[in-house]
Structure 1
Amino acid sequence: MDRVRDLASKNAAVIFTKSSCFMCYSIKTLFYGLGASPTIYELDLEFNGKEMEGALRELGCSSVPAVFIGGKLIGSSKDVISYHLDGSLKQMLMDAKAIWL
């Protein structure tokens, strides 16, 4: 769990994904569309991806993508889409200095 927290806190926006996950691709595309360049960790391609996935579950994110902004767990795709629809996702990214306007 410490490794996941450490990786999540080193960049403004971090997404833990799986390379074959459509929702992961959609969330990455959303971030790119908003002007963010998140750090991506593909759990199915990482050496210790299974352990990282278990740590994400312990942190409260039961599925990928697991999105962190400013070192804080935002949630999975459902949460990110909700924040995007209510307009708060862009502000979170701005506050974390993942995007500038």
Structure 2
Amino acid sequence: MERVRDLASKKAAVIFTKSSCCMCHSIKTLFYELGASPAVHELDKDPQGRDMEQALFGAFGSTQAVPATSDLMDKVMRMSSERGVVIITKSSCCLCYAVQILFRDLRVQPTVHEIDTDPDCREIEKALLRIGCSTAVPAVFVGGKLVGSTNEVMSLHLSGSLVPLIKPYQSLLY
């Protein structure tokens, strides 16, 4: 655990991955696309990688140390890439509703997944947080890429950057 803490403290963004993990690759790509330069530690290439993985299990109370081993992570990624604009929500969330209305006002018919009806709801929320959502819901994806939650979407909208991003998905007839 000491080695994990030491490595994690060396940089603002640190990612523990496995080189064969497709979700790990996606997360690294996301960080690079956002202009970050994280420290990346490939557990399968480190002589102490197995011990570090066990320490990560314990530290985060998880059944996995890296994302790609999760069927739920795959489920989230599948849901997020179904259509142009996808919003993962909960039916009782007023911010989720507000984000849906924003997209409809911008002439976009998003695909909406209400996860509170899914038996894996809690785990899906954890997976959304793991891939970078500031809050689990709403989670907005455009073109299969995570845009973020309410704050990120509203910031993009207020800066004038949201409409160009969603232009390919706007309907003239909507």
Corresponding residue for residue 169 of structure 2? 98
TM-score, reference length from structure 2: 0.54
Structure 1 residue runs of 5 or longer lacking an equivalent are none
Structure 2 residue corresponding to 1:68, chosen from 118, 141, 151: 141
Bigger CA radius of gyration: 2
Deviation at 1:79, TM superposition (A): 0.4
Deviation at 1:45, TM superposition (A): 1.4
2:109 counterpart SS class: coil
Per-residue CA deviation, residues 7-38 of structure 1 (Å, 9 max, x unaligned), is 11121000011111111110000000000010
RMSD of aligned residue pairs (Cα, Å) = 1.2
- The separation in 1 between residues aligned to 2:90 and 2:171, in whole angstroms, is 28
Matched, 1:86 2:159: yes
Higher relative contact order, chain-length normalized (CA < 8 Å, sep 6+):
1
- The separation in 2 between residues aligned to 1:10 and 1:47, in whole angstroms, is 20
1:74 counterpart SS class: strand
Corresponding residue for residue 5 of structure 1? 77
- The separation in 1 between residues aligned to 2:121 and 2:132, in whole angstroms, is 17
Matched, 1:37 2:109: yes
Deviation at 1:100, TM superposition (A): 4.7
- The separation in 1 between residues aligned to 2:165 and 2:119, in whole angstroms, is 30
Corresponding residue for residue 15 of structure 1? 87
- The separation in 2 between residues aligned to 1:100 and 1:39, in whole angstroms, is 14
- The separation in 2 between residues aligned to 1:84 and 1:10, in whole angstroms, is 23
- The separation in 2 between residues aligned to 1:45 and 1:52, in whole angstroms, is 11
Structure 2 residue runs of 5 or longer lacking an equivalent are 1-72
Q: Report percent identity of matched pairs.
A: 46
Tell me the amino acid that sits aligned with residue 80 of structure 1: V
- The separation in 2 between residues aligned to 1:12 and 1:42, in whole angstroms, is 17
2:169 counterpart SS class: coil
- How many residue pairs end up in the alignment? 99
